[in-house]
Amino acid sequence: MEGWDPNTKSTLTQIPLLTTKAGPRDGAAWTQRLKEEYKSLIAYTQMNKSNDNDWFRISASNPEGTRWTGKCWYVHNLLKYEFDLQFDIPVTYPSTAPELELPQLDGKTQKMYRGGKICLTVHFKPLWAKNCPRFGIAHALCLGLAPWLAAEIPILVDSGMIKHKDDATSSTET
């Protein structure tokens, strides 16, 4: 965890860790894991809200809890940029992390695989592997997606690859 900013570190220690090592094909054990995922997501969302750092919405879009959809946003130069967020829980979960997708940014940055999967190889995958099965969805968002947005969105905005939604209609405004 060297090289991470103290804020992320302190947030991370407050997200509840998970204990059940189970994937979507593991029946009752998966239900148990899903409960732990919810608890850690609830705790993380509450923490973000109370720290005035609310930055995502995510919920399961099927009853099995294997497909998740929502939104995430990032504020740059006092403007809010919002994106759809989606991912599947892989069959080999939690040995492998969910592949977080921002479909609207597909093809706009090199730090992304096809389909809008963000590149997590260097900054996140080793951490996930080391902390299996204690890390869950909330940790993936905190350590995978948040730093990715912080690194990529300013570059995408400054290079003009993405525009603020208000800019699309009135581009003369400064």
Partner 1 sequence: MEVELKEMLNDLESLKQSLPDPSHRASIDKLRLRVEQLTSLEKSGPARRLKVKDMSAEVVDSNPYSRLMALQRMGIVENYERIREFSVAIVGIGGVGSVAAEMLTRCGIGRLLLYDYDKVELANMNRLFFRPEQVNMTKTDAAVQTLSDINPDVVLESYTMNITTVQGFETFVSSLKNKSFRPNKEGSGVDLVLSCVDNYEARMAVNQACNEMNQTWMESGVSEDAVSGHIQLLIPGETACFACAPPLVVASGIDERTLKREGVCAASLPTTMGVVAGLLVQNTLKFLLNFGQVSPYLGYNSLKDYFPTMEMKPNPQCSNVACLERQQEYIVAKPARDAALKAKMEAEALLVPEFPLHADNEWSISVVDDSGLDSMDATSSDTLPEGLVRELPSADKSQELPTSEAPLTSNDDLEDLRRQLEALNS
Residue numbers annotated as active site: 119
Residue 137 in tokens: 């969805």
What separation in angstroms does the CA of 150 have from each of 53, 61, 67, 94?
13, 26, 25, 25
Residue 41 is given by DSSP the state H
- Is residue 161 within the footprint of partner 1 (CB under 8 A)? no
Residue 123 lies near partner 1 (rule: CB under 8 A): no
- Residues with Cβ within 8 Å of 34's Cβ and at least 6 positions away in sequence, in order, are 60, 65
From residue 13, how far is each of 95, 127, 141 by CA, in Å? 21, 14, 14
27 or 171: CB nearest partner 1 = 27
**One character per residue 125-144, x = contact with partner 1 (rule: CB under 8 A):** xx--xxxxxx----------
103 binds partner 1 (CB under 8 A): no
The verdict on 61 binding partner 1 (CB under 8 A) reads: no
153 counts as binding partner 1 under rule CB under 8 A: no
Determine contact, residues 47/15, Cβ cutoff 8 Å.
yes
Closest CB to partner 1 among residues 54, 167: 54
Which residues of this protein are in contact with partner 1, per CB under 8 A? 16-17, 19, 21, 24-25, 31-32, 34-36, 38-39, 41-42, 45-46, 49, 57-60, 64, 66, 70, 88-92, 95-97, 99, 110-114, 119, 121, 125-126, 129-134
